[in-house]
């Protein structure tokens, strides 16, 4: 699983019936959240999850703009 573009969540898996490889992409405003939840549950050592790379580039600035404390995610 990964975020392959803005608002694009992608999963790849092996087909249990035919043994083939399949990939799906979901385009959604919730792609980052879907990635974070899935990676936290299934792949807690995912490099993008650990580095904070799944967050939008201006995440820290948005937190500061609304007066929220930004957690240490990068």
pLDDT tens sequence across 16-47: 887 788 899 999 999 988 999 999 999 999 99
Instruction: List the structure tokens of 44.
Output: 């807690």
pLDDT of residue 59: 84
Which pTM was predicted? 0.71
Q: How confident is the model at residue 53 (pLDDT cuts 50, 70, 90)?
A: confident
* Confidence check: pLDDT of 50 > 80: yes
Residue-by-residue DSSP string for 11-72: EEEE-TTT--EEEEEEE-TTHHHHHHHHHHHH-TT-HHHHHTTTS-TTHHHHHHHTTPPPP-
Q: Could you give phi then psi for residue 46, rounded to 5 degrees?
A: -60, 130
Check residue 15 and give its pLDDT. Answer: 80
């Amino acid at each position: 699983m990964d975020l392959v573009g803005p608002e694009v969540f992608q999963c790849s898996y092996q087909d249990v019936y035919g043994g083939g490889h399949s990939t799906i992409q979901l385009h959604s405003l919730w792609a980052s959240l879907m990635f974070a939840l899935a990676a936290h549950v299934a792949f807690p050592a995912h490099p993008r999850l650990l580095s904070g790379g799944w967050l939008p580039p201006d995440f820290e600035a948005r937190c500061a703009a609304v007066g929220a404390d930004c957690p240490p995610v990068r």
